[in-house]
A = this chain, B = another copy of it.
Amino acid sequence: MENKMSSRLSSPVVAIVGATGAVGVEMLHCLEARDFPLSRLKLLASPRSAGRKLKFRGEEIEVEPLSETSFKGVDIALFSASGSVSRKFAPIAVEAGAIVVDNSSAFRMDDAVPLVVPEINGGDIARHKGIVANPNCAAVISITPLWPVHARNRIKRLIVATYQAASGAGAAAMEELSESTRAYLDGRDYKNTVLPHPYAFNLFSHNTAIDPDTGYNDEEMKVIEETKKIFGDPDIAVSATCVRVPVLRAHSVAVTFQCERPISASEVRELMKTAPGVKLVDDWENNYFPMPKDASGQDDILVGRIRQDLSDPTGHSVTLFCAGDQLLKGAALNAVQIAEHLVKVPALA
């Protein structure tokens, strides 16, 4: 099968599962903007969204209802749906001959599935067995800038506090943030239905279940566990506090890390200048640093506020602040980058 796929993958048929969602739409945009060498694009969604038309390369493509026969002839399937949809349909897609890039958490911690940020461990893609997992958005945005540091001077302790946008909970959550804020400003009542707490000018702990043993929520455990897997370093000690803030689409993160050997802020700043997927925004004089409004719509993760961590007098720790588009590098862009690797290096053995 590898030979057939290798040749087909030079100009693959690509499917987007969940094409009408916030991330699905951005996947379509990324494929178009990056001139992805596909021969045909198939858009799949729930029956409720089927029949809608989305524009791609000047052409209207009708969204088809996802079914067990949807993947015939598909070479690469980009999944951006719920974990349960991925658990059911990703194996069906693989069985039909497609390689799946899955944006859900369903397979991320599966030993047989590479979990990939191309700038960090793109080489892991080659050992896939049909599925490549796309990491959690907060994890991608927190750790992509840290990889060049870790590669030079191992990070042994990592503490992140996130400022996560509505987009991470989907288009409906973005709408709820806008509508509830308008209601607040107008002095009207608003009943939140998408997120568990009032969102207008408010923030709250990430709306995922709390692990009864540790007290960490699911999102935090994803950042913690996925960091270890992506870095290929099970011993890195990570703590995360994940918070939803009333921002529409880019996540920000306050990051503090402690290295094995002493490290200076200026050394980290130099590394950020050439770090792949990263843009240094660290203008002390004008007080201009990474902001979600600037990160929105940008491929790069913005990094700044790089300074020695004054809570570690031994000089082993640095702190910084970053902001990245949750829908792009945090989701759709990273998935399309993985697909680009698949086109170049389809499979190993």
Contacts and interface: CB of A to CB of B under 8 A. Distances in A.
Contacts of A163: 163, 203, 243, 245
A93 interface: no
Interface string A171-209: 000000110011001000000000011100111110111
Contacts of A214: 307-308, 310
Given A201-B293, A237-B311, 7 more contacts: A161-B161, A163-B203, A163-B245, A182-B182, A241-B254, A243-B254, A245-B247
A284 to B, nearest CB: 4
Contact of A310 (B185, B212, B237, B289): B237
B245 A246 contact: yes
A71 interface: no
A237 B313 CA distance: 7
Interface residues of A, number: 61
Contacts of A289: 204-205
Interface in A239-284: 239, 241, 243, 245-248, 252, 254, 256, 265, 284
A307 to B, nearest CB: 4
Contacts of A308: 214-215
Taken together, the copies of this chain in the complex come to: 2
A205 B241 contact: no
For the complex of A and B, the 5 pairs showing the least CB-CB separation, nearest first, are: A215-B307, A239-B311, A161-B254, A161-B161, A210-B284
A256 B284 contact: no
A224 to B, nearest CB: 6
Given A181-B181, A216-B307, A306-B215, A321 B203 contact: no
Nearest to A247: B201
A339 interface: no
A215 B284 contact: yes
Interface in A210-243: 210, 212, 214-217, 224, 237-239, 241, 243
14 contacts: A177-B201, A181-B185, A182-B182, A202-B293, A205-B304, A209-B287, A210-B285, A214-B308, A215-B305, A239-B256, A239-B310, A239-B311, A241-B319, A241-B321
A127 interface: no
A297 to B, nearest CB: 13
Interface of A: 157-159, 161, 163, 177-178, 181-182, 185, 196-198, 201-205, 207-210, 212, 214-217, 224, 237-239, 241, 243, 245-248, 252, 254, 256, 265, 284-285, 287, 289, 291-293, 304-313, 317, 319, 321
Name the residue in A185, A217, A310 with the highest tally of chain B Cβ atoms < 10 Å from its Cβ: A310
A301 to B, nearest CB: 16
A161 B241 CA distance: 10
